């Protein structure tokens, strides 16, 4: 197999030679933003929605991306083309750039723009049929007034602490609560519950504004399935008929056990399976073509 080519600041570099400086503040401090995007069947799914979020997040951390949105879109498509990819996971990264050992971003040079595109299967392997065992974790989701959970930043220690706790407790995924005890999200995916045929998800004030979450809400509207955005508690989670998580890497994944409580009958729910099917259909149909 030919070596993967990585986009770094407008050039394509073989994976084994793709490097950035140890003085980049993305490395030193997690100062930067990223995206996770998927291409299906020769088309990039929701490309401009992901770019909108990338630029919004960059703006919030006062980071100026040295490309226009359209240039960025073309760079992503070109990265897929040079690697001859039709189905891929795409990871654009924008770092603060090279600075000194202090924190001050004003001392950093040009932001580094990196795009990795590679084949990558769905995150949870064989658990889409069996369902995930999730555990709630003691570590709380970053408070909205300290590090807003809406920023898809390179600083993911909050999420990694949750993942470590889930690993220790034998869970496939962590579920975060916020500082008020309301349900927030998974370590890298949003969460939904189904109760008496109504679908619920928390508002994005305490979690990441997921694009897969938006797609699920779109499907619910198209299919006239009752839906409500509302705060949820542990009570709601444990007593739900169905629970599922959503994200670009995970797609839609059923959760069948939470903290040892069986969710519904302990099997992936009917509505969850229906949404997984509708989501798959959308990914096969829609998207920005890579090769036309
Ligand atoms: C990326 C991410 C999600 C999912 O967002 P998508 O746009 O659906 O991929 C959810 N939560 C966190 C913490 C994330 O980083």
pLDDT for 1 beyond 80: no
pLDDT for 292 beyond 90: no
pLDDT for 171 beyond 80: yes
Q: What are residue 117's phi and psi, to 5 degrees?
A: -135, 130
pLDDT band at 2 (very low <50, low <70, confident <90, very high): confident
* 207 C-alpha to ligand 1 centroid (Å): 9
- Buried-state track 98-123, b at ≥16 Cβ within 10 A, e below 16: bbeeeeebeebeebbbbbbbeeeeeb
Instruction: Using CA atoms of 73, 77, 80, 81 in order, give the dihedral in degrees to the nearest 10.
Output: -160
Index of the ligand 1 atom closest to the CA of residue 159:
13
pLDDT band at 181 (very low <50, low <70, confident <90, very high): very high
Averaged pLDDT of the chain: 97
Question: Given ligand 1 and candidates 50, 201, 247, which is best to mutate, with the most ligand atoms within 8 Å of its CB?
Answer: 247
Index of the ligand 1 atom closest to the CA of residue 36:
9
Tens of pLDDT, residue by residue over 52-72, are: 999 999 999 999 999 999 999
Q: Are 219 and 278 in contact (CB under 8 A)?
A: yes
* 41 C-alpha to ligand 1 centroid (Å): 22
Q: Are 114 and 131 in contact (CB under 8 A)?
A: no
State residue 205's pLDDT score. 96
Token pair, residue 153, equals 């930043």
Question: Given ligand 1 and candidates 189, 217, 275, which is best to mutate, with the most ligand atoms within 8 Å of its CB?
Answer: 189
Structural domains of the chain, with CATH: 5-119 (3.30.470.10), 126-285 (3.20.10.10)
Q: Structure pTM?
A: 0.97
pLDDT for 122 beyond 90: no
């Amino acid at each position: 197999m030919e070596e993967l080519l990585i986009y770094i600041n407008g050039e394509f570099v073989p994976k084994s030679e793709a490097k950035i400086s140890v003085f980049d503040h993305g490395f030193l401090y997690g100062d930067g933003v990223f995206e996770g995007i998927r291409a299906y069947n020769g088309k990039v799914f929701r490309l401009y929605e992901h770019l909108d979020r990338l630029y919004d997040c960059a703006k919030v951390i006062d980071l100026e991306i040295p490309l226009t949105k359209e240039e960025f879109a073309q760079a992503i498509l070109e990265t897929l083309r040079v690697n001859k990819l039709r189905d891929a996971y795409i990871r654009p990264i924008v770092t603060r750039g090279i600075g000194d050992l202090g924190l001050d971003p004003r001392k950093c040079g040009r932001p580094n723009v990196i795009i990795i595109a590679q084949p990558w299967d769905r995150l949870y392997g064989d658990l889409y049929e069996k369902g995930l065992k999730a555990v709630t974790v003691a570590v709380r989701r970053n408070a909205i007034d300290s590090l807003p959970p809406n920023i898809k930043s390179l600083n993911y220690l909050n999420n990694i602490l949750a993942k470590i706790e889930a690993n220790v407790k034998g869970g496939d995924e962590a579920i975060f609560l916020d500082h008020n005890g309301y349900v927030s999200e998974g370590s890298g995916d949003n969460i939904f519950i189904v109760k008496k045929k109504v679908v619920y998800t928390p508002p994005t004030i305490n979690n990441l504004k997921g694009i897969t979450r938006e797609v699920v809400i779109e499907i619910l509207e198209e299919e006239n399935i009752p839906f409500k955005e509302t705060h949820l508690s542990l009570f709601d989670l444990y007593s739900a008929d169905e629970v599922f998580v959503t994200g670009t890497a995970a797609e839609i994944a059923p959760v069948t056990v939470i903290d040892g409580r069986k969710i519904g009958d302990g099997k992936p729910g009917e509505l969850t399976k229906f949404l997984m099917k509708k989501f798959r259909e959308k990914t096969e149909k829609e998207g920005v073509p890579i090769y036309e």
